[in-house]
A = this chain, B = another copy of it.
Amino acid sequence: MDLTTILGLIAATLTTFSFLPQMIKTWQSKSAKDVSYIMLITFNIGVFLWIIYGISLQSLPVILANGVTLFFNIIILWLKIKYR
């Protein structure tokens, strides 16, 4: 694996798992009023389209990274609705 690929994998891991602390924070504080609904909905639709794009390209990294990102962000959206 070359350096560029390793760099891309580190980047993908960081941007994907950055939403885990947000999910935990929202879960614990039971509040997400400062998190924008428009952001969450637009972001989730965009990430869903990234998954379709990944399937179309048969790119497992794109599918996996966006699948995990969508999972975290759907839970964050659900928590925001639950604790509104």
Contact = CB atoms under 8 A, between A and B. Distances in A.
Interface of A: 3-4, 7-8, 10-19, 21-22, 24-26, 29, 31-36, 38-40, 42-43, 45-47, 49-50, 52-53, 56-57
How many copies of the polypeptide does the oligomer hold? 2
B45 A34 contact: no
For A4, A19, A36, A57, which residue has the most chain B Cβ atoms within 10 angstroms? Answer: A36
A29 B35 CA distance: 11
A49 B10 contact: yes
A18 B34 contact: no
B25 A46 contact: no
Contact of A26 (B26, B34, B56): B34
A53 B11 contact: yes
